[in-house]
Amino acid sequence: MEEETPDQQEDIPSADDLVSKANEAAERLEKANEEHARLIAKQERLNVERTLGGHAAAGQPQEMTVEEKAIASAKAMLAGTGLEEHAFPGEPAKP
């Protein structure tokens, strides 16, 4: 076996070095997790405020479905022809 030269021995970190680096990394992770939890809680509060403050999507006009668009288009085409009553029975005729 080859003997390690002094340069090679310096490249190998000691066990204490590795443990201290692992501890530092764990501390950074714990701080990051705490910050993440704080930001999630803040986001949840903002969502509640938005919902209770009337800024939610509720009550906004909904887009028409493809079927509703087709019916509206057909009604527009038949308007004034006298055929509306036959094509859409049961619905009041618009003046």
85 pLDDT tier (thresholds 50, 70, 90): confident
Delimit the domains of the chain by residue range.
1-59, 63-95
CA distance 95 to 83: 14
Residue 34: per-residue pLDDT: 96
According to the model, what pLDDT value does residue 2 have? 55
CB 81 within 8 A of CB 66: no
Report how far apart, in Å, the C-alpha atoms of 28 and of each of 20, 23, 24, 32, 85 are: 12, 9, 6, 6, 73
Chain centre distance of CA 56: 15
Which of 4-13, 26-35, 85-94 is modeled with the greatest confidence?
A: 26-35
Mean pLDDT of 62-83: 85
Q: Report pLDDT for 39.
A: 96
Q: Would you say residue 11 has pLDDT above 90?
A: no
Give tens-digit pLDDT for 16-71. Answer: 899 999 999 999 999 999 999 999 999 999 988 888 876 556 666 778 889 989 88
